[in-house]
Amino acid sequence: MNKRVCSFPILFALLALLIGTCAVVFPASAQAAPTSTGSITVSGTVARSYDACQIFSANVVDGDSDAKIATDLAWASDAVRDAALPVLHSAGMPKSQTTAQEAAEWLNTDSHLTSALSAQLARSLQSSGAVPVALNAGTAAELPCGYWLIVADDEAISQNEAGTAPIMALVGGSAVTVKPKAATPKVSKHVLEDSAAAWQKAADATVADDLYWRLSATVPAGLTAYDTYTVRFVDTMSAGLDPSKVAASMRVYVAAGADGGFDAVQTGKDGRAGTEPAKGWTDITAQCRVSADGKTFTVHTGDLIAALGGADAFTAGARVVAVYNAPLNSACNHGIAKGNPNEVYLRYPRSPFADQSGDAGFTRTPSDDACAYTWDLALTKRGSDGDKPLAGAVLSITDDRGRTLAADGTWNAEGKATVTTGEDGRVTVSGVDSGKLEVRELKAPKGYTAFEGTRSVTVKAEGLDVDQVAAAKPKLTITAESPLRADSADGSMGSLEASLINTPTGTPPSITTGGFMPSTGDMAMYAAAAAAVAGAALIVVALLVKRGGGSHKE
């Protein structure tokens, strides 16, 4: 029998990349006696088990320099031959070539065995009558000598794992170990903070105002074995968020490359996100679908490979962004203690061989979240004669969007609404964003004098721009212009207290009730101001005494 000796460096290209083996070479001497089986171990954490299908049987021995020598190649079975030949002929192998030796030599020529072709071979073998051998990760197995195509078992791919392109391994001679490496997609979530026009892990907002959320996915580079690739954002909102605007406002964008940012659209300090894609981004909303189930909704993308213009562009990876509007509702949590979280995870194909038409072909990433906060401000009208609450003051309270507070707690866009203090002297601004509120007194309580002009009270929330929501420890503060007075700020409950001081009619203005004295809720500031006035008076007296030279004459 005439033995043919073959060398297949291309068959080993992917395997060499993963495990560092040398290409097959054939020195004519020092060949060991061939064996009928060889040992192979699949290591790593990509999956728990694998399917191995033999393509060619062969006699395999170890050669020099850790190379392996394969002779007497034959198709592993008729079923394998019938499944493989149409794929190889379609890829360019001459139809006259049908033997295992000819197929192996063609695969070895001009780098024909790409990861895409190996995936096509695996798909064809899976649909044929070829019976695979199950391999458990980390456990050595004895297989008949020859070339084997190894594919991760889709059912054994769990959360944050992914199947790889098939691995071609030559089994025989010394034991073989392969270590598949798979990069998995990643997902993140951010919310638009209007004061900074920035996407952050946390933001604060006024109840019912537009509030934009961004879902971002990174698909890693090198996924060359896929014919199609779709992802699904699965988003779960807390009870404090309104889902009614999600579907109508949803926009989805894609950009080539796994590196780079996620600024797919422009953002403005009006608290809104634009819809026109930024340079390098493509709007694929028309190819996407949103399905909802209560507070949970799923954004199904179309085929990202097609959206990017083909496999060549997709090889560099991709970034996917979904932007939608979900305002805080009347049932939202106020303050830092609970906040209003919004969580997302990404479902992605288990492997190049997974059926992407249903749910079974997908696995998922860990979850990521963002959070929205809101605050309550109580403004109490008080008299300077004893700090008692005063009813009947008519106020105009304007936010930084030019809206005025109405008696029912809503904001009037025309700026014509007013509020009146009750028997407790209070007016409550519930579910408000941080920022500046302008207060005018249109009518003072009977027996008291209204202040003139406009005074501001400012709510400031610091520490919202963090890497993770869990690390957020926002600090809430309040300042005010006299005759407004900042009294307290409880960030945990989101409760802010301020007072508006009126003097009885006929009372001369004083430093504590007039002008534009800033107030922070710290009485030390008032003590410092009083000390400053007293000090100024002493200086004046000293100058007068010095000018008189000790004489009592004017």
pLDDT tens for 382-423 read: 999 999 999 999 999 999 999 999 999 999 999 999 999 999
CB atoms within 10 A of CB 449: 16
Give ∠ CA 351-126-56 in degrees, rounded to 5. 110
Tell me which of 318 and 154 has the higher pLDDT: 318
Using pLDDT thresholds of 50, 70 and 90, give the confidence band for residue 88. Answer: very high
Taking residues 75-104, report their average pLDDT.
96
Going by the DSSP 8-state scheme, the letter that residue 418 receives in this structure is: -
| CATH topology match: 186-372 vs 375-522 | yes
Token digits for 490?
Answer: 């409880």
Indicate the residue type of 87: V
Indicate the residue type of 13: A
What is the average pLDDT value for the chain, to the nearest integer? 86
Lowest mean per-residue pLDDT among 22-36, 245-259, 333-347: 22-36
Q: What CATH number labels 375-522?
A: 2.60.40.10
Indicate the residue type of 55: I
User: Can you spell out the DSSP letters for 266-291?
Assistant: -B-TTS-B--SPPTT-EE-GGG-EEE
pLDDT tens for 450-497 read: 999 999 999 999 999 999 998 878 899 999 999 999 999 999 999 999
**pLDDT confidence of residue 548:** 43
pLDDT tens for 184-199 read: 999 999 999 999 999 9
The C-alpha atoms of residue 132 and residue 139 are separated, in whole angstroms, by 17
Q: Which of 235, 238, 257, 256 has its CA nearest to residue 246? A: 235
pLDDT tens for 136-191 read: 999 999 999 999 999 999 888 989 988 888 999 999 999 999 988 878 999 999 99
User: Under a CB-based contact definition with an 8 Å cutoff, are residues 143 and 133 in contact?
Assistant: yes
Indicate the residue type of 22: C
pTM for this entry: 0.83
Considering all CA atoms of the chain, what is the largest pairwise distance in Å, rounded to the nearest integer?
140
The C-alpha atoms of residue 117 and residue 32 are separated, in whole angstroms, by 33
Using pLDDT thresholds of 50, 70 and 90, give the confidence band for residue 244. Answer: very high
Report the SS3 class of residue 162: coil
User: Under a CB-based contact definition with an 8 Å cutoff, are residues 126 and 163 in contact?
Assistant: no
Query: Tokens 């479902």 appear where?
Result: 347
CB atoms within 10 A of CB 469: 20
Query: Tokens 């089986």 appear where?
Result: 37
Q: Where are the domains of the chain?
A: 5-178, 186-372, 375-522, 524-554
Taking residues 252-280, report their average pLDDT.
95
Query: Tokens 């899976």 appear where?
Result: 126
Q: Which CATH number fits domain 186-372: 2.30.110.10, 3.40.50.300, 2.60.40.740, 2.60.200.20?
A: 2.60.40.740
Query: Tokens 């197929």 appear where?
Result: 103
Query: Tokens 């000090």 appear where?
Result: 535
Q: Which of 5, 39, 4 has its CA nearest to residue 144? A: 39
